[in-house]
Structure 1
Amino acid sequence: MIQRRQFVQACAGSALLAGLGARADALEQARILYGFPAGSSGDIVARRVAERIAGTPYVRNAAFVENKPGAGGRIALEALKSAPADGSTLALSPFSCTAIYPHVYSKLPYDPARDFVPVSIAALMFHGLAVGPVVPASVKSVRDFLQWAILNPKDANYGSPAAGSTPHFIGALLGLSQGVELKHVPYRGSVPGVTDVVGGQLAAMVTPSGDFISNHKAGKLRILATSGKQRSPFIPDVPTFAEQGFPDLTVEEWFGFYAPAGTSPAVVSAANAAINSALKDKALIDGLGVVGLVAQGSTAAEMARSQAAEFSRWGPLVKKIGFTGES
C-alpha cells in the first residue's frame, strides 16, 4: 500500500513538472547579478524576470537577484566572469558596460567578447534629461537649459548613474555640441542622483527616463527631453532630443542578460527561451511600463549583433568626448 502511494505521488510530481515545462536536468536555482542598487529600473527588470523563469527547462525555482553596485556596473560583470559556466549565474547589464566601457577603461577587468556569452535582450530604455528646483521654472526645453547653464556656470552641472555610462556621455555630447560647459557628477546608480535633483543639491540629471517618471508626474522635477527615436509612450508630453534639434543624441539603450563564457549552447538556449517567455507576460510588461521600460526579448545572436554595432558607434564618440577611466 505504501509503495503504491509512493508510486502515485511520484507520478503526480512528474506530471506537475511536465506541466510546468521543467526537465530533469533543469537547474534547481539560478542567480542574477545586477551591478546597480536595488529599486532602480534595471533591478526591476531582473526581479520581474527572475520570478517568471521558474518551472522551465532552464530552472525549476525562481531565480534570486544579487545586487553588486559600484564601479558603474563593472563589479557585477567581474563576478560573472569567474562564475561557473553552467547557467547557474547570469548577469543583467545595460549595453554601456560591454559596448562602451572597452573604449573608456584601459584596464577593464573583463573582456566582453571573450568572457561573456549574450543570452537575450530584456528591455529597452530611453534616457532623459531632467531638471529640479535649482533650475527656474521658466526653463522648459533643452535650449532653455543650455542658455541657463551659460548664465549660471557655477550651478551648471548634471548627474549620471556612473562615469563612462551612456547617460554621462549624452550629457557630455550635449555640452560639446553647443560649446557649453556642463560639469558631470557621477553617482552609484540613478536613485541617489534623482534624490539630489529633487532635493535641490544638483541642477540636472541624465539617466533612464523611467527613474524620473514618478517625480515628473508629481511636479518635483521636469523632464526636458528623452533620447528615443520617438517619444516615450509613458511620458508622451515630453519631446525627444531630436525634436528639439539634437538628433545625434538619439539613443535607445537595452538591458541584456549575459552568461559566463563557456556556457553550453543548450543552456544558453534554455535560458533564452525562459527569459523570452517571461517577457511576454502581461503583468511583467505592465510592471516595466511603470518605470518607463519596454519589454523586448531577442535571440542570443541578435543581442550579439546589437552589441557589436553599439561598440562601433560609441568608439569615435568616446574619443571625441576625451573621457577615459583615468581622467
Structure 2
Amino acid sequence: MGSRRLPLTHLLRNSTYPRKRGEVKKNNNDIAGENTMTKAVWAGLIGILALTGAARADDYPSHPITIIVPFAAGGPSDAMARVLAERMRTTLGQPLVIENVTGAGGSIGVGRAVHSPADGYTISFGHLGTHVANGAVYKLNYDLVADLEPVVLLPSNPMIVVSKNAVPATSLKELLDWLKSRPSAATAGTAGAGSGSHIAGVYFESVSGIKLQYVPYRGTAPALNDLIAGQIDVIVDQTSNSINQVRAGTIRAYAVTDDKRLSSAPDIPTAEEAGLKGFHMTLWSGMWVPKGTPKEIVTKLNAAAVEALNDPAVKKQLESQGLEMTPQDQLTPEALGTRQKAEIAKWWPIIKAANIKVD
C-alpha cells in the first residue's frame, strides 16, 4: 500500500514527521523555534497569495469581459449595455461581449452572473426589476445583495404608458375610461412576472382603479413588437424601449411616470399633468459583479463606466433614448448599493401585497 499524502496544513502544523522509536524528545526551545518557522511559512504563503491577487488586478483585464444582459437583444437594457460596452472597451483595452440570457423575468441571467468566478470577467447588467423585484417574486438560489458587488449606478428610465393605435383614446383620461369599461379584459404586455413593466402595470392599476390581464414575454422588445402588431392593448414600458416607435407613429403615448417631462419628448405630459396623481416610477439600471471580486477590479470597472457615461457622444445617445443621466455624485458602487437596498425596502411589500407570482 502506497504512502499517504499529508495535506499542506498538516505539514505546516507538524513540521517534522512523528518521532521514531527511540528518537530524542524535543525541548521547549526546539518547539518554540519550529512554531516560529511555521508562522513564518504561513506569513510567506499569505504574502504570496496577496501578491498574486494584486498582480491579477494589475493585469486586469487580460481577455474579453462578458456582460450578461438578462433580457432579449434589441430591448432597452440590451441597447444601453451595448452603448456602454463599446465605450468601456476603449478604456479597458479589451472587448466587452454582450450575452443575452433570458427567462424568468431576468432571474436566470442574474443567476448565471452570480455563480460565475469572482474575477471581474463577468458583469451582471440589470435594473429595479431584476435586482430588486425578483427577490420578492421568485424563489432564487442566490441573494441579490449578499451575492453581488455593486459597480455603478446607471441612467434611469422613466416609464411611459403606451397603447396600440387601434385603442380609441387620445388622452390618458380617455384611455383610463376605455380600460375601466373592460375590466381584466384589456391585455398588458410585460417582460415577465416581477419585471419592471409588470410592477409598473400593477402600480398603474393601484393608482387608477383599472384591472389588466398580463401577457408575459422574454423581455420588452418582443412585447413591443406585439403591441405594434396589435396583438396586445397596452404596455407601461421603459421610455427608451418605446420612444422611437412613438415618434414613428406606430404606437400611441399617453403619459410618462417621471415628475417632469422628458427633454427628449417634451410633448408627452407627465401622469400628474394628465390627471393621474401619485403615479411616479423610474426604472434605474446598474452593473454588478459576483461577490468577492477584488476591490481593485471593481474600481477599474467603475472608472471605465464613469468615463463612458461622461463621454458627450455616449451621453447624447443615451438621452436620445429617453434616459435620465445619473448625477455625478451618484456614479459610485456605494450609491448603487444604497439605492438597491432602499428599493427592496420600498417595493417588496408592494409586490407581496399585490400577490405577484410567477406565471
**Equivalent position of 1:4 in the other structure:** none
In structure 2, the partner of 1:131 is: 163
Greater displacement, 254-263 / 35-44: 35-44
CA contact 1:132–1:202 (8 Å) conserved in 2? yes
**Paired residues, what number?**
300
1:287 pairs with 298, 303, 317, which one?
317
1:203 aligns to 2:233 (yes or no): yes
**In structure 1, what residue type is equivalent to 2:356?**
F
For residues 100-115 of structure 1, what are the structure 2 equivalents within 5 Å?
A: 100-105=133-138, 107-115=139-147
Q: What amino acid is the match of 2:306? A: N
| Residue of structure 1 equivalent to 2:333 | 300
- Which whole-Å CA distance do the structure 2 matches of 1:154 and 1:230 have between them? 30
- Whether the 8 Å contact between 1:169 and 1:321 is mirrored in structure 2 is no
Give the distance between the partners of 2:107 and 2:94, measured in 1 at CA. Answer: 27
Secondary structure at the counterpart of residue 167 of structure 2:
coil
Q: Deviations over 1:208-235 (max 9, x none)?
A: 0121112211221111111112112111
Q: What residue in structure 2 maps to residue 318 of structure 1?
A: 351
Distance 2:195 2:312 in 1: 30
Residue 23 of structure 1: CA displacement? 5.7
Alpha-carbon separation, structure 1, partners of 2:226 and 2:321 = 19
Q: Match of 1:92, SS?
A: strand
Displacement of 1:153 after TM fit? Answer: 4.2
Q: Supply the distance in 2 between the matched residues of 1:312 and 1:249 (Cα, whole angstroms).
A: 19
Distance in 2 of aligned mates of 1:229 and 1:177: 16
Output the CA distance in 2 between the equivalents of 1:55 and 1:151.
54
Match of 2:154? 122
Structure 2 unpaired stretches of 5+: 1-56
Contact map agreement 1:128 1:209 (CA 8 A) in 2: yes
The equivalent of 2:10 in structure 1 is: none
One-letter amino acid of the counterpart of residue 243, structure 1: E
Which residue of structure 2 lines up, in the alignment, with residue 63 of structure 1? 96
Partner secondary structure for residue 335 of structure 2: helix
2:145 match: secondary structure: helix
Q: Is 1:91 aligned to 2:124, yes or no?
A: yes
Partner Cα distance (2:355, 2:184) in 1: 22
What SS class does the counterpart of residue 298 from structure 2 fall into?
A: helix
Q: Can you list the C-alpha shifts for 1:230-277, whole angstroms capped at 9, x where unaligned?
A: 112111111112323434321112110000011111111111011111
- Offset of residue 55 of structure 1: 4.9
Q: Which residue of 1 aligns with 2:270?
A: 240
Correspondence for 1:53 = 88
- The answer (yes or no) to whether the contact 1:37–1:43 under 8 Å persists in 2 is yes
CA 54–178 in structure 1, closer or farther in 2 if over 3 Å, else same: closer
Letter in 2 for 1:46: A
CA contact (8 A) 2:61 2:94 kept: no
User: What SS class does the counterpart of residue 54 from structure 1 fall into?
Assistant: helix
Distance in 1 (CA, whole Å) between partners of 2:176 and 2:82 is: 37
**More displaced stretch, 229-238 vs 271-280:** 229-238
Q: Deviations over 1:49-82 (max 9, x none)?
A: 11122354xx321211111122111111111111
Q: Tell me the alpha carbon deviations over residues 116-146 of structure 1, each in whole angstroms, 9 at most, x when there is no partner.
A: 111001221111110113311xx12322212
Cα distance change on mapping 1:31 and 1:224 into 2, 3 Å = same
Whichever residue aligns with residue 259 of structure 2, its letter is K
The whole-number CA distance in structure 1 between the counterparts of 2:184 and 2:343 is 34
Question: 1:40: which partner in 2?
Answer: 75
Q: Secondary structure at the match of 2:270?
A: coil
Q: Which runs of 5+ in 1 are unaligned?
A: 1-21
Q: TM-score, normalised by structure 1?
A: 0.86
**Counterpart selection for 1:184 from 214, 219, 227:** 214
Instruction: State whether residues 170 and 249 of structure 1, in contact with CA within 8 Å, keep that contact through their aligned partners in structure 2.
Output: no
2:291 paired residue among 261, 268, 272: 261
Aligned to 2:175: 145
Q: Which amino acid aligns with 1:91?
A: S
**Out of 247, 269, 287, which is 1:217 matched to?**
247
Q: Retained in 2: the 8 A contact 1:52–1:62? A: no
TM-score between the two structures when normalised by the length of structure 2: 0.79
Cα distance in 1 for partners of 2:173, 2:354 equals 20
Change (3 A) 1:72 1:147: same
Q: How far did 1:155 drift?
A: 4.6
RMSD over aligned CA atoms reads 1.9
8 Å contact kept, 2:137–2:193: no
8 A contact 1:94–1:255 mirrored in 2: yes
Q: Equivalent residue for 1:309?
A: 342
Of the candidates 201, 204, 208, which is equivalent to residue 171 of structure 1? 201
Fraction of identical pairs, as percent: 31
- Which deviates more, 251-260 or 173-182? 173-182
After superposition, what is the alpha-carbon deviation per residue over 1:1-56, rounded to whole angstroms, capped at 9, x for unaligned? xxxxxxxxxxxxxxxxxxxxx96444332111101111112112111111122354
- Which residue identity lines up with residue 191 of structure 1 in the other structure? A
One-letter amino acid of the counterpart of residue 42, structure 1: S
Q: Alignment partner of 2:338: what SS?
A: helix
Tell me the distance in 1 between the aligned counterparts of 2:252 and 2:332: 36
| Partner residue, 2:280 | 250
Q: Which digits, 9 at most, give the CA deviation of each residue in 1:258-302, with x for residues without a partner?
A: 000111111111110111111111111122223222343610001
Q: Determine the C-alpha separation between the residues in 2 that align with 1:244 and 1:257.
A: 34
- The aligned counterpart of 1:81 is 114
